[in-house]
């Protein structure tokens, strides 16, 4: 059992909280039964698994997952509660964590619905949009300029496994965003004061949805490339959070496409 936080593997795992270290090593630390199960079922093979025996013993799902991973011949390292606590970012850890390859799904051959996050810094909203994007049939998600890192631990937790199934790309500039888009793809930007209502768009056609951050909003460049669309609201509510607004529009696109079959 690992009882020291100075253990080299534990230190390597903790370093993955740094964006720079994640990309340099091509690795990601994930924790929890749901995330690790999703990774495994999506064909991701963990490099190292850490577990805290007492917590696992009282969690049937964690015990079953650990048994599966051990049976597959993976390195599963027991840790003391104090050591395991240094690997987790949750209040009530489930006793399992793992270092996995940084998820990287291939780009689709054709993209008919693309989600672009622009200046979106809140990890919870970003993760929500990944989850909604997968459910709504998005082909590609681009984390654009000044946007939270897709592999931030809070984004990964909020994404609920979408990272292992959705193609994700980062783009530091709008020129890089454009290089990932099909030529002449129409873009629509969620905006409380949009030029048209979101359900007036013909989402059956290839298109991209841009969602900006709540604090700063979308960038000038995003606005230059996109037509703004609004969600009509009643009462005194001025706007919705980015995760909610983006999800509503994505599912309108999914509804139109489903009816067009």
The pLDDT of residue 34 is 95
pLDDT of residue 209: 99
Q: In whole angstroms, how far apart are CA 57 and each of 63, 129, 194?
A: 6, 34, 53
* Domain-embedded: residue 3: no
Residue stretches of the chain with pLDDT short of 70: none
Nearest to 156 by CA among 132, 123, 133, 134: 123
Dihedral sign for Cα 163, 190, 192, 249, please. negative
Helices then strands (H, E): number in the chain? Answer: 11, 11
What is the total count of domains within the chain? 2
* Helix intervals (H) in the chain: 8-15, 19-25, 33-41, 53-57, 60-71, 81-85, 123-136, 153-159, 174-179, 220-225, 242-259
DSSP state of 137: T
Q: What local confidence, expressed as pLDDT, does residue 90 receive? A: 81
Domain shared by 121 and 160, yes or no: yes
Distance CA 212, CA 243 (A): 10
Do 72 and 134 have their domain in common?
Answer: no
Please give the pLDDT value at position 111.
85
With H, G, I as helix, E, B as strand and everything else as coil, classify residue 198: helix
In a shared domain, residues 240 and 186: yes
Q: State the Cα–Cα distance between residues 191 and 228, nearest whole angstrom.
A: 6
Query: Which tens digit of pLDDT belongs to each residue from 220-244?
Result: 999 999 999 999 998 877 788 999 9
Per-residue pLDDT at 217: 87
Domain range for 240 is 113-259
Q: What CATH number does the domain containing 204 carry? A: 3.40.1280.10
End residue of a domain, out of 77, 101, 125: 101
Residues 250 and 143 in one domain: yes
The structure tokens listed for 248 are 């509503």
The pTM (predicted TM-score) of the whole model is 0.93
106 part of a folded domain:
no
In this structure, the answer to whether residues 117 and 239 fall within a common structural domain is yes
């Amino acid at each position: 059992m690992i009882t020291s936080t100075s253990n080299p593997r534990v230190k390597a795992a903790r370093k993955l909280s740094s964006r720079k270290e994640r990309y340099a090593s091509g690795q990601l630390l994930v924790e929890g039964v749901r995330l690790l199960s999703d990774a495994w079922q999506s064909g991701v093979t963990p490099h190292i698994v850490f577990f805290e025996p007492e917590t696992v013993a009282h969690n049937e799902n964690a015990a079953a997952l650990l048994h599966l991973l051990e049976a597959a011949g993976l390195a599963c390292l027991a840790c003391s509660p104090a050591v395991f606590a240094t690997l987790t970012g949750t209040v009530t850890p489930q006793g399992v964590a793992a270092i996995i390859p940084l998820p990287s799904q291939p780009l689709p051959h054709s993209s008919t619905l693309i989600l672009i996050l622009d200046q979106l810094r809140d990890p919870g909203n970003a993760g929500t949009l990944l989850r909604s994007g997968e459910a709504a049939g998005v082909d590609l998600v681009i984390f654009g300029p000044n946007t939270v890192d897709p592999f931030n631990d809070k984004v990964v937790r909020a994404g609920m496994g979408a990272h292992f199934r959705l193609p994700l790309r980062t783009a530091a500039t709008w020129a890089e965003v454009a290089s990932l888009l099909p030529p002449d793809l129409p873009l629509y930007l969620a905006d409380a004061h949009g030029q048209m209502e979101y359900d007036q768009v013909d989402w059956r056609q290839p298109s991209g949805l841009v969602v900006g951050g709540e604090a700063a909003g979308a960038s000038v460049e995003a606005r230059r490339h996109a037509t703004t669309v609004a969600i009509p609201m009643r009462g005194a509510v001025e706007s919705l959070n980015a995760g909610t607004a983006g999800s509503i529009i994505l599912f309108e696109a999914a509804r139109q496409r489903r009816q067009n079959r």
